[in-house]
Amino acid sequence: MSKTVLIGVTGCVAIYKTCEIIRGLQKGGVRAKVVMTESATHFINPTLFRSLTREPVAVGLFDDAPGDPIHHVSLAKEADLFLIAPCTANVMAKMAHGIADDLLTTTALATTAPIVIAPAMNVNMYENVATQQNMETLRSRGIEFVDAESGYLACGDEGKGRLADPAVIVKAVLDRLNVKRDLEGKRVLVTAGPTVEPIDAVRFISNPSSGKMGFAIAVAAHNRGADVTLVTGPVSLEDPAGIETVHVKTALEMFDAVESAFGESDIAIFTAAVSDYRPASPVERKLKKGADDAALETLELVENPDILATMASRKRPDQLVVGFAAETENVEANARKKLVGKKADLIVGNLVSHDNGFAIDENEAMLVDARASKELPRMTKAQLACAILDELSLALQ
Ligand code: PMT
C-alpha cells in the first residue's frame, strides 16, 4: 500500500512549484492529496491540484466533504506525512502558537504524522526575528524544514526566501517516509516505449506504447538508489533527471543499446513493446499509390530478434531478467508461457484493453514467476513499478 502525503498549500507566488512537487512524489510511488488555505486559492484554482492528484482538494473548514463530517481529523489521520509547501510566514506563526483558524492549520494541529515545512517569502519577512523564532519553536517540536534558498525573489528583492528546489523537497519527503534505498549499488537496465519500423520515408509499423510504464520503473529504481540505464523507443516523455537515457527507433537499434548495457546490469526489465517483425526492404523515398502499388499491397516482413529472450539466454546466475506480457486474454497462462519460453525470472502480465495497459497512468497486472502467480489490484504505474521492485529486491537478498 503506498504512503499518503498530505500537501498543505498556502498563499504564495511559489505555489506553482507545488505542481512539480506533486509529480515528483507520485513518481516516487506516493499518493498525494492537497489541502489549501483560502489565500492559496487566489493564486491557483483547486481544480488544477484536483486534476494532478485525482483526489478531492480540501479548502474550507466548514465545506461539505461528502460522508466526512469532521474533515480536519480524517485528513490528519489519513496522512503518513504532512508537507506544507510553500509555507508562508503567517502559517508558520499560527502553527508556532497553536492557532487553528482554517482547515490547513486545524489539520496541522490535529495530525500526529511527521510535518515537513518548505518556507517561501520575502527576504525581510524571512529574516524577521518573529519568523526566525517561530521556525525555531517549530523545529524544537520536531517539525522538519527544507529551508528556503537564496536568490532572486518574486518581489524583486535578492536574498533568502525562495522555495527550495522541488526535487530537493521531494527527496526530503521520500527520505523521511523511509522510501527504500534497497537498490543502492545495483545497476538496472530498463527498456520502454514502442519501436518504430520504417516501411518507407513516411510510413512505419509501430504500436501505442507511451513509455509511461518503463519510465515509471526507471524513476522508481533511481529513487531506491539504483544506477539506471533507460533504453527507450520514440515517446513524448521528458528524459528523467539523473537517469542515463538512450533513445532508439527500431528493434535492431534497441537490441544494440541493450546488448551494450546488459553485461553490467544486475536487473534488466523489458517493458518495451517491441515490434516482432519489420519490413524486409524499407524504402528511403515515399512509396507512391499507383506507381508502387505492388510494394504497398504486399509488405514482406522479417522477424526481429527477441531482445529479452536473447539477453536471458546469456544471463549470469546473479542477474535478474524481467519481461512484460501485454495480453488481450488469458493473461496468466500467456505470461507463464513467456516466462518459460523466454527464460525470464519474472513476467509482469497485463491485460491490454481500452482502459488498461497502453498509454494511460494506471495498470492492472499479475506477477508470474516459477513458483507462483500474484494478482495485483489496479494501481498507478508508479505504484506498480514499486511493487515490481519490491519483488526483485526480495529475490536479490
Ligand atoms: O508504454 P505504456 O503506454 O506505459 O504501456 C505499457 C505496456 C503495455 C507497453 C507494457 O506494460 C507492456 O505490456 N509491455 C510489453 C508489451 C509487449 O509487447 O509484450 P510482448 O508480449 O510482445 O513481449 C513480451 C516481452 O518480450 C516484453 O517484455 C517485450 O519487451 C519483450 N520483447 C518482445 C519482442 C522482441 N522482439 N523483443 C523483446 O524484448
Three-state SS for 268? strand
Q: For residues 331 and 376, is the Cβ–Cβ distance under 8 A?
A: no
* pLDDT score at 69: 66
Question: Per-residue DSSP letters for 239-300?
Answer: PPTTSEEEE--SHHHHHHHHHHHHTT-SEEEE--B--SEEESS--SS---TTTTHHHHHS--
Cβ of 304 below 6 Å from ligand 1: yes
Max Cα-Cα span within the chain = 82
Cβ of 155 below 6 Å from ligand 1: no
Q: For residues 109 and 144, is the Cβ–Cβ distance under 8 A?
A: no
Measured CA to CA, the distance from residue 9 to residue 30 in angstroms comes to 17
- CB atoms closer than 10 angstroms to residue 245: 18
Q: Which atom belonging to ligand 1 lies closest to the Cα atom of 309? A: 39
Angle at 134 between CA 130 and CA 139, to 5 degrees: 150
Q: For residues 6 and 35, is the Cβ–Cβ distance under 8 A?
A: yes
* Beta pairing partners, 151: 159
Q: Which three cell numbers stand for residue 62?
A: 466548514
**Domains plus CATH for the chain?**
4-177 (3.40.50.1950), 187-396 (3.40.50.10300)
Q: Which atom belonging to ligand 1 lies closest to the Cα atom of 271? A: 14
Measured CA to CA, the distance from residue 59 to residue 48 in angstroms comes to 13
Instruction: Mark whether 386 is an active-site residue.
Output: no
Alpha helices in the chain (DSSP H): 17-27, 40-43, 46-53, 71-78, 89-96, 103-110, 123-127, 129-140, 166-176, 212-223, 251-262, 293-297, 307-313, 331-341, 381-396
- CB atoms closer than 10 angstroms to residue 205: 18
- The residues of the chain scoring below 70 in pLDDT are 1, 67, 69
Cβ of 106 below 6 Å from ligand 1: no
Please give the span between the terminal C-alpha atoms of the chain, in angstroms, as a whole number. Answer: 22
pLDDT in tens, 123-173: 999 999 999 999 999 998 889 899 999 988 887 888 999 999 999 999 899
Measured CA to CA, the distance from residue 63 to residue 79 in angstroms comes to 19
Q: Which atom belonging to ligand 1 lies closest to the Cα atom of 305? A: 36
Q: For residues 277 and 218, is the Cβ–Cβ distance under 8 A?
A: no
Residues with Cβ < 8 Å from 343, sequence gap 6 or more? 309, 312, 313, 315, 321
Cα 191 to ligand 1 centre (Å): 9
Owner of C-alpha cell 551494450? 260
